[in-house]
Amino acid sequence: MRTILTTVSSPGFLYLASQSPRRRQLLEQLGVRHELLLPGPDEDSEALEAVRPGEAPAAYVKRVTGLKLEAAVARLVRRGLPPAPVLCSDTTVALGRAIYGKPEDARDAARMLSELSGHTHRVLTAVAVQSGRRRFDALSDSRVTFAKLTPAQIRGYIAGGEPTGKAGAYAVQGTAAAFITRIAGSYTGIMGLPLFETAQLLRKVGVRWG
């Protein structure tokens, strides 16, 4: 059952349901006032990211974003916070129909980077916002091409710690930029929050920015 926010507070304020510092940075770039609305210790947010057998990457990232948004709205009501729009986003990397989430460890990160090496993959970021009974969502679909990486390059990158917590085991805004030969699509979407799509959604729920 979807939780409904009955009223909306300030038209220039929202809750961001994401632990990503990059998403917060991008919202600040837009000039949107926001507060974090993060899961408590009693919530298993990682369980929401489980991939269903045969699930297509786009369907997966949209479904996970929707689940995270529903959980965040319920969290807002449960904590008795002032009602305001809630924004949620999720990113996944895909090579064909293979979905690359956050690596479990260094070995898993090495596997992902080795498979992405020398290929063009998709970066899919879904974003959704709910305000009262209104809920809107959008999908950013970008392409990233990696040069052929040597084992030494992969080991060095992993040793720097950047792959931790990153879909596909890399961050486009970090040193992995040296591996990328071509990008087609939304750079901010690849970072984790497509600003064009996000701005359109914020307009729909009356959140002012800039």
Q: Provide the residue type at 47 as one letter.
A: A
Q: What's the pTM value of the predicted model, to 2 decimals?
A: 0.91
Could you tell me the CATH number of the domain that includes residue 136? 3.90.950.10
| pLDDT above 80: residue 201 | yes
pLDDT of residue 2: 52
d(CA 145, CA 191): 15
Furthest C-alpha separation in the chain: 55
Q: Is residue 58 part of a domain?
A: yes
Q: pLDDT for 47-61, tens place per residue?
A: 889 999 999 999 999
Q: Could you give the dihedral angle defined by the CA atoms of residues 191, 193, 195 and 198, in that order, rounded to the nearest 10 degrees?
A: 170
**How much is the average pLDDT of 173-196?**
97
Which of 42, 44, 90, 137 is labelled catalytic? 90
161 within some domain: yes
Residue 32 lies in a domain: yes
90: annotated active-site residue: yes
| Cross-strand pairs, 95 | 98
Residue 182 lies in a domain: yes
Domain count, the chain: 1
Please tell me the predicted confidence (pLDDT) of residue 47: 83
Task: Indicate the residue type of 196.
Answer: F
Phi, psi of 55 (to 5 degrees): -70, 135
Could you read off the pLDDT of 102-159 as tens digits, one per residue? 999 999 999 999 999 999 999 999 999 999 989 999 999 999 999 999 999 999 999 9
Give 209's pLDDT tier (boundaries 50, 70, 90).
Answer: confident
State which residues form the domain around 135: 13-204
CB 121 within 8 Å of CB 146: yes
210 within domain boundaries: no
Phi, psi of 42 (to 5 degrees): -85, 0
> For residue 8, is pLDDT > 70?
no
Q: What percent of the chain has pLDDT over 90?
A: 87
SS (H, E, C) 102-132: CCCCHHHHHHHHHHHCCCEEEEEEEEEEEEC
Structure tokens at 34: 């926001």
Q: For residue range 16-41, what is the model confidence (pLDDT) as tens digits?
A: 999 999 999 999 999 999 999 999 88
User: CA-to-CA distance for 132 and 5, rounded, in angstroms?
Assistant: 4
pLDDT single digits (tens) 158-183? 999 999 999 999 999 999 999 999 99
Residue 45: per-residue pLDDT: 77
